[in-house]
Amino acid sequence: MTISSQSVLMANRAPYTPQRLPQAFYETASGAGQMRQPAALPDAPRVPDARYREPVLRPPPPLEPAPYRIGVGDVVLLATKSAGSTVEQLSGLLAAQTQRQGFTVRDDGTISIPDVGAPRIGGLTLEEAENELFEMLLANGMNPAFSLEVQDFNAHKVVVGGAVGSPSVVPITLQPLTLRLAIAAAGGLAVPDTRFATIRIFRNGSLYEIPVAEFDDDADLQDTILRSGDAVFVDLTYDYDRALEYFRQQIDVIALERQSRQQAFQELQAEIAFRQAALNERRSNFQTRLDLGAEARDYVYLSGEIANQTRLPLPFGQKASLADILFEAGGFDVTTGNPSHIYVLRPSPEPEEFGAVTAWHLDARNPAAFTLAARFEMRPDDVVFIEEQPITRWNRALRQFFPVLINTARSALGD
């Protein structure tokens, strides 16, 4: 039958599922595992009582409120506001309209988003991080309909200890952390008499003091802004040396935590490298089997008036058209091949119809008709046959006839 729009639809109805590449070609090493959590902080050291001395007001230099900057260990949430095709395009990143997924900022300041990449958002404000993600999604051809927020604030912290309800590490969030909020997060002050208590703030090697009595009466002192790395100690002893030792021990604890996180990050990198090597080995083994012909493939066969009569494997993961097969083979020479007689021969898949063949005819002299070749899907064991030109048939007949005629004439003259 002639290849037409209707016959192409009929031919394409034949069921066929293209072969898939092994799973190793679809996996990535970035999903090898999660970084283990660092060890918990040790208990705050005890500071024994000491002799009383008159407290002196020495507050830290005032700080201007600044936007929160995302740091290592923070967990950010990405969420989409759209559904339908947008969700399908962002399948690994944003699964549904009301679903959100958290990503931990790694030691190099990046987050790993499947199918998107590893944007570096460490040290950026939320607005700057949104711009970075917006550009990356656009670069990947995705609809950048998303919202970004910080779920867990783990990067910037203030240590609060001494005479408080619950000595703890207080995270700094989007709202500037004031001295009043930090003490409240640690359970509030636990001092029997405010006249004999001092709030000490250790910052960058300097020690600042705020008597609790003055702190209670002065809103400006209560609104003192703290920054990451500050250590706050509510002291009942007024012992400078022992308070300083407490702060040094807290700094050592933070250093140990950072060292533990770095070690966990190195372990994760080693696991990813091992997984990458395993994936590469599996892919290489598959390629070797493919080169040696040890992997089953679906083929289409080319014959007739074509440069190289051969078989071509159908691609993995997608369907090939008649035009793909013709151009993959390098096309054909129209001086010998007849473009008006291109045939696709398809054997019947039914066992009881063994030997039955359906033939489709394409007249490629008409460019509009040739466009149908790009829509005609190939199936395993199809045979593409290109008939020879009439003049080619005569030329070959003459080339075979003339040697016989000359030899006959020579024999007659010789006789």
Q: Which pLDDT value is given to residue 395? A: 56
Q: Which pLDDT value is given to residue 406? A: 61
Domains of the chain, residue spans: 5-17+297-404, 69-152, 157-258
Tokens 């083929």 identify what position?
299
CA 49 to chain centre: 55
Quote the tokens at residue 403: 């040697």
Q: Which CATH superfamily is domain 69-152 in?
A: wza like domain (3.30.1950.10)
Q: Which pLDDT value is given to residue 171? A: 95
Count CB neighbours of 37 within 10 A. 10
Count CB neighbours of 326 within 10 A. 22
Q: What is the rounded distance in angstroms from the CA atom of residue 247 to the CA atom of residue 200?
A: 10
Q: Which pLDDT value is given to residue 161? A: 93
Quote the tokens at residue 185: 């997060």
Q: Which pLDDT value is given to residue 50? A: 47
- Flag residues of the chain having pLDDT under 50: 48-50, 83-98
Q: Which pLDDT value is given to residue 96? A: 42
User: Does the pTM exceed 0.85?
Assistant: no
**CATH code for residues 157-258:** 3.10.560.10
Domains 69-152 and 157-258 share a fold: no
Q: Which CATH superfamily is domain 5-17+297-404 in?
A: Outer membrane lipoprotein wza domain like (3.10.560.10)
Q: Which pLDDT value is given to residue 33? A: 54
What 392-397 contacts at long range (C-beta under 8 Å, 24+ apart), as own/partner pairs, is: 392/305, 392/335, 392/336
Q: Among candidates 79, 111, 30, 6, which has minimal Cα distance to 273?
A: 30
Q: What is the rounded distance in angstroms from the CA atom of residue 191 to the CA atom of residue 163?
A: 6
